[in-house]
Structure 1
Amino acid sequence: MAFQRQRIASAVFSALAAWSVSAVAQTADTSATPAATTATPAAQPALQPIVVTATPFASQEDVQVLTPAKVIAGDELRNKLGNSLGDTLSGELGVSASAFGAGASRPIIRGMEGPRVMILQNGMGVSDVSTVSNDHAVATEAATARQIEILRGPAALLYGSGAIGGLVNVVNDRIPTELVGKPTGTVEGRYGTVDGEKNTSFSLDTSAGQIGLHLDGNYRDTDNYKIPGNVRQGDGSSASGRLPNSFTHETSLGGGISYVTNWGYIGLSAATLDDHYGIPTDEKSFIDLHQNRYDLDTVVNNPFAGIEKFRFRMGYTDYSHIEKAEDGTPNTVFANRAVQTRWELTHAPLAGWHGTFGVQTEQSNYSALTPDTGVSELTPPTRSRSFAGFLVEERQFGQVLASAGLRAESVSRRPDSGSGLPGRDFSLVSWSTGGLWTFQPGYGLGLTYSFAQRAPTVEELYSNGPHESTSTYDIGDNQLKKETSHNIELTLQKTEGLVRWKGNVFRNKVNNYIYGRTNGQVDDTGTADPDGEFTQRFWSQGDATIRGVEAEVTYNWNGEGMSGRVFADTSRGTLDNLGNLPLQPSTRYGIELGYKTGPWASGVKVLRAQKQDRLASFETYETPSYTQLDANLSYTQRLNGVKLTWFALARNLLNQDIRLSTSVLRETVPLGGRNFIVGVRTAF
């Protein structure tokens, strides 16, 4: 016991030492259905099940009813990989994308966007400013990910009360947690015709004694992408051929080192990301983004009697991006420096309950300033702090698996004293509970209920100025109240056999829902002007209701021979007595067929999206229906002990003019036209 205490003490002291260095530096600077789960014929060997890492129970994907999950990994992830996280995930059940050109697109889950969808990297927040505006890219790279997880439900409370819509966790295993006997890794190169995409990514793991080492990187370069028609649909006078200012140039490099032994591990990682991309608006501005990130992660197994695992994580992020005019003149400098910590203890079963409890803290300094004067351009420098305690538990009651989560959190916002704006404090309580009744083997009926609260973000409270890249003049409200969400979901599923299926019905009632309400054109001072270049946008509140249905049926999914999938999702969001919520997703349905034999694998997917005419009172553009046809073909061979996969992907084969109803630029920014992607990847 003394030796175990010594081990955990050493780990904690090491973590605290690293925390103090980051804190001093900051002060001085004042991972919905189991489509990827194996469903092979009895004669075929079963594939390894995918494990969801962003849960306290290392649960498999096919039992994630209480935290409805989709895990994308392996060839499925490589085939779906896009230029942005939103593009990569936009075909999943209940998931759309903000689609602000090729460089910036966040995932939208069940009509919830921005701060209501938390983006994690290896279980820690990305700490960028992508929640501030749709033109800001997510500062994490899917091309180097081992898997991407989409979660909702009780487990989301481990990571944040604000994850009302859910969370996305990008897992790249940058800090090694196990030792490999010999060097292993992957390398991939691809080329795309729609934008001249040149993309190379790699990931490498090795070990020396009890030291694990990891290195990964990505390079992507694309030109302005081709579009089927005109920028404005039916307007022959608008640009055609290619979408102006839709280029991207991105590089990332990360590495990690850890000491791994029988009691656990302790490791560090560092990464840098540079992203340069165009904003496809009339102003033709562009963004230069840079982020440095440092993480510490330590796990001690069985540190005390009754405790199965102690885990401490800390992250320090230094993020900035400059929005520049077409001629390169800087307009606004956005910056965010954040320190996060997470302390988790997983306890042994107690009275049948098994779970994790812990504490999470975060401190960030955010600003949006004029580059030449350093004065507030859009929002004043603001320091935010949060402190949260959480608990997630699970227990089996006969045929019923029950799960529950609780999170209490305090959040403070403190704008610069020179701004004259008031500070705000919020006390948040969130909880969730649910159960899965396995009424016969392979069949389950699940019911979950979640109560979640979210504090208004800095930009929602304190914005007051022009935002060049979105052509909006944003006005916050420093008296906004916290959001409160009441979500109920019913799930019926079949998880065994060649044929599997799942259906979800949900209803989310959100009190004090915060949304952007537009109100005519203004000039750069906020004065009303019918010919002004900015659209005035007020952050407002109202009670909202979002409800929807998702369903999927699969046959032999990812198995040898023929496989198939039929899917559909629909949701609708309304403001009480004020009509529809803005930027709501279209109703979608489709079919996907696949065939595998020996080294060959192929697939085809047809997605149909209906016209979206359920508009908010201040919206005017109805997005038309479209049909998206995609296909893939690959051949895998062994060459000198190396697994070599040649692949070809085809996207939007029908060359449809596709406009997403969830994009604020849907009138002027269609998705790319017909695209052929060819490439090769190796695994060793």
Structure 2
Amino acid sequence: MNFKYSLLAGAVLSAVSAFAHADDGEVTKVVVTANPFHKGETEQILLPAKVLSGDELRDKMANSLGETLSSELGVSSSAFGAGASRPIIRGLEGARVKMLENGMAVSDVSGLSNDHAVAGDGAVAHQIEILRGPAALLYGSGAIGGLVNVVNERIPPAREPKLTGQAEARYSTVDQGHATSGTLDGAIGKLALHLDANARQSGDYKIPGNRVAGDPASGSGRLPNSGTKEKGGGLGGSYIDAWGYVGASVSGLDNKYGVPSDEGAVIDQHQTRYDIDSLFKNILPGIESAKFKAGYTDYRHAELGEDGVPEVQFTNRALETRAEMVHKAINGWHGTFGLQTELSHFAAKAAGHEEEHEEHEGEHEGEDEHDHGHAHGDTVPATRSKSTAAFLVEEKEWGPVRVNAGVRTERVKRQPVTGLDRSFSLQSGALGALWSFTPGYATGLTLSRAQRAPTTEELYSAGPHHATITFDLGNPDLRKETSRNIELSLQKTAGLLRWKANLFHNSISDFIYGHVTGKMVDGEGHEGHDGEQFRERVFSQGDATVRGAEGEIEYNPHGLGLNGRLFADTSRGELKNAGSLPLQPATRFGASIGYRSSAWRVGATWIHAQSQDRLAAFESSPSGAYNQVNANLSYTQKLKDLDLTWFVLAKNVLNDEIRVSTSLLKDISPLPGRNFVFGVRAKF
């Protein structure tokens, strides 16, 4: 361990504190910013919520967003190595779980394949919001499973009276990794400014036992090709007055990480993002506020072979706009209505092929729309997608009963440079009620219907994907998915002891999934040829159901003194007459206990996952049960106006061999072994 690194970071933080002043005693209410009414997490109806912030977020922070959230109720991760791990919500993954940054789409390609990392990092986040259930009413058809919103406030919605910020440095033993991050917020007159930056680098991580379970010849020690290297940052500002605010930001991300598959691919990822945000108060009679957001994303990543040469280049350029208004109460109904548009240009091209999509953009419209061919060498042909949506969400209270109702209509069009143009009309709606039948207790019922259009890769894929060793074949005749969901909840929201329980049943018509046929083909899709071989994966449809239950009991979760938590979650997804859905999460239960004083925090968490043998037709190996034990210890000292926190995190204390059922690589890539994380964090 490089102790000079941590000591230097601490010295820098102390120096910064000499120029800054803390605003002690200020308590900020944690609200769900992705909800139109900005309710707290216990007040949601349409979207059951969890908000990670403060010490809880910092303790759970990991290399990837999926790993950071993997212990939350109803959430698991794709676990595709240390660099790429996407959240899976209630057994639904990929395009069905929408990734947002400050309420706007991340616009990466992580929904296409599990080896693609989410281009949004939690290292500088103020909070991370998890919304489970069909969130399609507000954020689009891609959110049938739910959404995750990373809130970093790069465009400040309010002025800080004094210069504030925080910075952190940490070192991890399992991968000899080091990470630093920091944020700074201040104001000059009516201009609010924000700056953030983060950097992380780690080597191959240690694994318990053998790479392949029970196979000593597969190797042990460190998992090959599991290292990561990332840096990113953002700059933003806003002009704030009594009428509201208007602001802009720019951010960038460079991420390079290994994929610990047999092929040993490396992914080199880059993203530049530009955003504007605005809020106007009382601009029209009957309107409380109006918001307008716009974001442009330029994303690309290359999948590098063993020789470091790109094998496939993925690109996505996207422009999203969002306008919404909050109207004053009309006959007791208070609500939000708005419009959302998105334009994107996506392609996945094999190495050695020139960028042909620019010259074809204006040509394909006159081609035979029934031509199902693909540009030679394209894994996915260059495709323009356009969507336009209108939504309305309303809320009204009848005594102890609060009712939410909403509708969304959306039009989606896919236009590949070669092949069949497709258009989809999507209609979604939801009705929910929360009845506070006695003080501190409530029960809720939600009925919803949400539709999802097939993605570009599901429609038009026709080429090899080296990182997953699959040859993907899309189907341009795919129909839209329709999800019908019912959810019942019961919760206690007041007092030291609080609890909640959810039951849900989701019926999905025309569920789209990648069916592995069992054929082995070469890079051109032919059987029986020499050279590199790929598993053939064909995008297909069938009716599916996903059902499950979640529950947790918490004692004094945010107060001083003793605290504790018990939780359990389970879900099961099945295809009609075709067995289980692939990569289904295992049933889990766990417990945590902790103690908090003004300076000290200590805690431990135990999670047990049962074995999972409910496999899809093309899956061959069940996942074994495991126990995961984590612990934390921290001490915060006051140095004038600086809060300096020294912390130690222990992860997988038992050094258990963990192979999660939701990972495509579970047979050859276990999760990291015992890991100690040492760090220092300053807040001023």
Same fold at TM > 0.5? yes
Deviation (angstroms), 1:527: 2.1
Letter paired with 2:390: G
Whole-Å separation in 1 of the counterparts to 2:133 and 2:627: 32
1:351 pairs with 305, 309, 331, which one?
331
Give CA-to-partner distance per residue, 1:610-639, whole Å, 9 cap, x none. Answer: 000001111101000000000001101110
Deviation (angstroms), 1:156: 4.7
- The equivalences for 1:450-489 within 5 A come to 450-489=448-487
| Aligned residue number for residue 15 of structure 1 | none
- The equivalences for 1:179-190 within 5 A come to 179-190=159-170
Letter paired with 1:428: L
Report if the CA contact (8 A) 1:153-1:450 is conserved. no
Secondary structure at the counterpart of residue 502 of structure 2:
strand
Deviation (angstroms), 1:173: 0.3
Report if the CA contact (8 A) 1:285-1:325 is conserved. yes
Secondary structure at the counterpart of residue 76 of structure 2:
strand
- The equivalences for 1:292-331 within 5 A come to 292-331=272-311
Whole-Å separation in 2 of the counterparts to 1:681 and 1:545: 45
Letter paired with 1:256: G
Letter paired with 1:473: F
Report if the CA contact (8 A) 2:135-2:143 is conserved. no
Whole-Å separation in 1 of the counterparts to 2:580 and 2:159: 53
Whole-Å separation in 1 of the counterparts to 2:27 and 2:340: 36
| Aligned residue number for residue 392 of structure 1 | 393
Report if the CA contact (8 A) 1:66-1:436 is conserved. no
| Aligned residue number for residue 513 of structure 1 | 511
| Aligned residue number for residue 119 of structure 1 | 99
Whole-Å separation in 1 of the counterparts to 2:29 and 2:641: 25
Count of aligned pairs between the two proteins: 637
Tell me: CA distance 1:213–1:333, structure 2 relative to 1, closer, same or farther (3 Å). same
* Residue 541 in structure 1 maps to residue 541 in structure 2: yes
| Aligned residue number for residue 180 of structure 2 | 200
| Aligned residue number for residue 528 of structure 1 | 527
2:223 pairs with 218, 224, 243, which one?
243
Secondary structure at the counterpart of residue 143 of structure 1:
coil
* Residue 626 in structure 1 maps to residue 606 in structure 2: no
Secondary structure at the counterpart of residue 68 of structure 2:
helix
Deviation (angstroms), 1:541: 0.5
Deviation (angstroms), 1:125: 0.1
Secondary structure at the counterpart of residue 538 of structure 1:
strand
Secondary structure at the counterpart of residue 321 of structure 1:
strand
Secondary structure at the counterpart of residue 559 of structure 1:
coil
Deviation (angstroms), 1:153: 4.9
Aligned CA-pair RMSD: 1.3
| Aligned residue number for residue 9 of structure 2 | none
Secondary structure at the counterpart of residue 224 of structure 2:
coil
Give CA-to-partner distance per residue, 1:177-201, whole Å, 9 cap, x none. Answer: 1111111000000000011110000
| Aligned residue number for residue 438 of structure 2 | 440
* Residue 494 in structure 1 maps to residue 492 in structure 2: yes
Deviation (angstroms), 1:161: 2.1
Secondary structure at the counterpart of residue 67 of structure 2:
helix
| Aligned residue number for residue 337 of structure 1 | 317
Deviation (angstroms), 1:159: 1.0
Letter paired with 1:318: D
Tell me: CA distance 1:487–1:87, structure 2 relative to 1, closer, same or farther (3 Å). same
Secondary structure at the counterpart of residue 87 of structure 1:
helix
Deviation (angstroms), 1:317: 0.3
Letter paired with 1:398: G
Whole-Å separation in 2 of the counterparts to 1:472 and 1:465: 8
Where in structure 1 do 4 or more consecutive aligned residues deviate above 4 Å?
45-48, 153-156, 529-532
Secondary structure at the counterpart of residue 487 of structure 2:
strand
Letter paired with 1:678: F
* Residue 588 in structure 1 maps to residue 568 in structure 2: no
1:209 pairs with 181, 189, 192, which one?
189
Secondary structure at the counterpart of residue 470 of structure 1:
coil
Secondary structure at the counterpart of residue 458 of structure 2:
helix
Deviation (angstroms), 1:283: 1.6
Letter paired with 2:421: G
Report if the CA contact (8 A) 1:154-1:405 is conserved. no
Letter paired with 1:158: L
Report if the CA contact (8 A) 1:153-1:448 is conserved. no
What TM-score do you get using the length of structure 2 for normalisation?
Answer: 0.92
Secondary structure at the counterpart of residue 580 of structure 1:
coil
Report if the CA contact (8 A) 2:136-2:450 is conserved. no
| Aligned residue number for residue 382 of structure 1 | 383
* Residue 285 in structure 1 maps to residue 283 in structure 2: no
What TM-score do you get using the length of structure 1 for normalisation?
Answer: 0.92
Report if the CA contact (8 A) 1:192-1:678 is conserved. yes
* Residue 655 in structure 1 maps to residue 655 in structure 2: yes
Whole-Å separation in 1 of the counterparts to 2:663 and 2:434: 36
Give CA-to-partner distance per residue, 1:70-124, whole Å, 9 cap, x none. Answer: 0000000000001011010010000000111011111000000000000000000
Q: Percent identity?
A: 57
Letter paired with 1:527: H
Compare 520-529 and 177-186 and name the one that shifted more.
520-529
Secondary structure at the counterpart of residue 212 of structure 2:
coil
| Aligned residue number for residue 639 of structure 1 | 639
| Aligned residue number for residue 410 of structure 1 | 411
Report if the CA contact (8 A) 1:185-1:204 is conserved. yes
